[in-house]
Amino acid sequence: MSTKYETRYASSPQAVKKYDTQELRDEFLIPDLMQGDNIKWVYTHYDRYMAGGAMPIAEALSLETIDPLKSEFFLERREMGIINAGGAGTVIADGEEFAMAHKDALYLGKGVKDVVFKSDDSNKPAKFYMNSAPAHTAYPTKHVAKVDANKIELGSLETANHRTVSQMIIGGIVTTCQLQMGMTELKTGSVWNTMPAHVHDRRMEIYYYLDIMDEQAVCHFMGQPQETRHIWMQNHEAVISPPWSIHSGSGTSNYTFIWGMAGENLDYGDMDVAKITDLR
**238-276, pLDDT tens digit by residue?**
999 999 999 999 999 999 999 999 998 888 888 899 999
- Name the phi and psi angles at 99, rounded to 5: -75, 125
Q: Report pLDDT for 171.
A: 95
**183-197, pLDDT tens digit by residue?**
999 999 999 999 899
CB 56, CB 87: distance < 8 Å = no
Which CATH number characterizes residue 130's domain?
2.60.120.10
**10-52, pLDDT tens digit by residue?**
999 999 999 999 999 999 999 999 999 999 999 999 999 999 9
205 is in an annotated binding site: yes
Name the CA dihedral angle for 185, 163, 262, 93, rounded to a multiple of 10 degrees: -30
198 is in an annotated binding site: yes
Q: Report pLDDT for 252.
A: 98
**76-128, pLDDT tens digit by residue?**
999 999 999 999 999 999 999 999 999 999 999 999 999 999 999 999 999 99
- The amino acid at residue 219 is C
Mean pLDDT of 121-146: 98
Q: Report pLDDT for 270.
A: 84
Task: Judge whether residue 1 has pLDDT over 90.
Answer: no
Q: Report pLDDT for 265.
A: 82
Domain that residue 58 falls in: 2-278
d(CA 216, CA 176): 36
Mean pLDDT in the chain? 97
Task: Domain count for the chain, please give it.
Answer: 1
